[in-house]
Amino acid sequence: MTGGPGHYDCHRVHGPYAGVADFLGRIAAERPRLASRHEVELYAIAPRLDHAARPAAEEEPIRFHPARRTACLAYGATEFVAAWADRLRRPVTIRFDHVASADETTRELLDALARRVGSSPVRLDLHDGGDREPATADPTPEATRTALGDSLARGFYHHAARVARRGRATVTPGGDLRHWWAFTTGLATALAALDEATEALDLYREARAATDDPKITMSAAYATAMLYARHLPAADQDPAQARLWLERAVHLAAGLDDPRQRMLSTVFYEQGLALLDSRAGDPARALRLIDDGLARLTAALGPGERPQDLARLRHNRAQVHLALGDPAQALADLDTVIAHDPGNCEYYVDRAALHRAAGRASAAIRDYDTAIRLGPHLPEAYYNRAVLQQERGRPERARADLDRVLAIDPGHLDARIALVNLHVERGALDAAETGARTGLALAPQEPALLCTLGLIRSERGGLAEADELLTRALAGDPELVEAWTNRAAVRFERGEVAAAVADLDRAVALSAAPVPRYNRGTALMRLRRWDEAAQDFTHALAQPGLDRALRRDLRAELDRCRRAMAG
């Protein structure tokens, strides 16, 4: 601990999670059994707690964590602190200093703690300053490079960018090309992860202008290709440019002196070409590239060597098999991938999607469970698991997962919509309206939320407001059947029966579901258009899977029409 009991220095000169990592370590020492249930997030935030860990930079990752991972870590750590706080017998005040000068990871976690434990016995005492500014020594280029590699491997990109900029300020390409390139490509990697890929592109242009070193120009060519293929804003992505730079990288790889490195680099870069082929609608060509790469790797590598590289190629092949319409082969590849690299949460999410598509809900849920544990706390895994739980008639579990999604990512609109709809289904209109309005504050024109809020307002008698909300929903999505159906119900209730029929005409044209026809038949009966109403009821009754209550109501209305026509 720094600064005495319950007193932590958060200044960013101490790195990511400064102060808060020590706080979490203190709780972990007090409650080891509780800490064991949060190992993934605690070890990521405070690696010193994992006595078996190697420095992250030594792991030689072939993939980088997404920037949003820190929000997932903050959620898990906050749940850990909340569970600890629930067992406290007296209030505790924790002081954090230099909060204004903290790393982004620290501030994100402190914000999450303030929201989650603000009403518990834990009081967070946040100070922008401290007793004194922390003193630091000027690191050597080697130490700076090590710190950069560690931050990149752990996914702490704001810190990595600061370290890389500091490193670039201390060396020149003419004086120390090796370190200058490490700082330059490290900065570009961090910027791409932070959605600042345009600046990253400029850095690679600078590198090519500064040196003709073949290994550097080869790496810069590949990285430039990936910026054009993946990371630049959508309007600036350019598959043709990406292919040109990939072909340049493959050409330079062919000139490497070391035959083993020549093969590894070529196979790695060709995976980028396979990605472009698959996106361009030629998965068969992509499959040939991947199969060829796997054959060369398998022939060159010893038993158990570079399992993550092999897993990544098989994962790529699974995606191509899906594009070729072969989910069984994709599943076989993913099973092999997970056997080779069981710690990668991404693979479980992909396999869960295949299980889900095949109707294997229990297997899908198990894979989502594992992805959430390894991720940790992946919002998409929670969301997809919630959908499965809802489909299986477990709304409470679904709501719990959706609440978790929104605690991690308040801007997750799909989760917001699903949760609002669950509230409506159980009649919790206050919670539904609050959720809908919160979502609309983030996305004011989201049609699904406008539609649901319109339904809620109509249920509460606000027919004029409901009509306006539903009209806005339809302006955003003219094919939203629920909005046509709900606006028809509002207009029917306001006595605008012809307008209601017109809306239901649109709903029926868009959907074969029985409810729009049932509603239109009801409105047509009000207009004494008995024959047309009877046709709607008859058509609705012919639909498969009708629930008993709806079937009973349809038959009753059809009998009324027949009596009216007979009389």
Q: Look at residue 553 and tell me if it is in a domain.
A: no
User: Residue 68 falls within a domain, yes or no?
Assistant: yes
Mean pLDDT of 112-119: 86
DSSP-assigned states of every residue in 38-106: THHHHHHH-GGG-TTPPPGGGG--SS---TTHHHHHHHHHHHHHHHHHTT-SS-EEEEEE-GGGB-HHH
Task: State the pLDDT at residue 394.
Answer: 96
User: What is the enclosing helix (H) or strand (E) of 8?
Assistant: strand 7-9
Q: Structure pTM?
A: 0.88
Q: How far is CA 121 from CA 27, 85, 99, 384, 423, in A?
A: 14, 6, 21, 34, 30
Confidence of residue 306 (pLDDT cuts 50, 70, 90): confident
pLDDT given at position 4: 39
pLDDT of residue 59: 47
The residue whose two tokens read 């979490």 is 24
Q: Which residue type, as a one-letter code, is found at position 135?
A: A
pLDDT given at position 138: 82
SS (H, E, C) 359-406: CCHHHHHHHHHHHHHHCCCCHHHHHHHHHHHHHCCCHHHHHHHHHHHH
Q: Are residues 188 and 213 in the same domain?
A: yes
- Both 112 and 176 in one domain: the answer is no
Shared-domain flag, residues 143 and 108? no
Residue 240 CA to residue 246 CA, distance in Å, equals 10
Q: How far is Cα 376 from Cα 76, in angstroms, rounded to an integer?
A: 7
Q: What percent of the chain has pLDDT over 90?
A: 90
107 inside domain: yes
Domain match, 106 and 53 both: yes
Number of domain units in the chain? 2
Domain boundary among 195, 224, 255: 255
Asked if the peptide bond before residue 376 counts as cis, ω within 30 degrees of 0, the response is: yes
Would residue 49 count as lying in a domain?
A: yes
Q: Is residue 200 part of a domain?
A: yes
Q: Which of 105, 126, 147 is the last residue of a domain?
A: 126
Please report whether residue 160 resides in a domain. yes
| 3 state DSSP class of 125 | strand
Q: Are residues 69 and 95 in the same domain?
A: yes
Q: Does residue 84 sit in the same domain as residue 162?
A: no
Domain identity same for 49 and 83? yes
Query: What value does the mean pLDDT of the chain take?
Result: 93
Domain membership of residue 346 (yes or no) is no
Query: Using one digit for the tens of pLDDT, what is the confidence trace for 123-164?
Result: 999 999 766 667 777 899 999 999 999 999 999 999 999 999
- Binned at pLDDT 50, 70 and 90, residue 56 comes out as low
CATH code assigned at 190: 1.25.40.10
User: Could you tell me the residue range of the domain that residue 44 belongs to?
Assistant: 7-126
Q: What is the mean pLDDT of residues 202-213?
A: 97
Looking only at the bridges linking them, the beta strands covering 7-9 and 122-126 are: unpaired
Lowest-confidence pick of 18-22, 53-57, 328-332: 53-57
What confidence tier does 62 reach under pLDDT thresholds 50, 70, 90? low
pLDDT 10s digits, 338-347: 998 898 999 9
Residue 211 belongs to some domain of the structure: yes
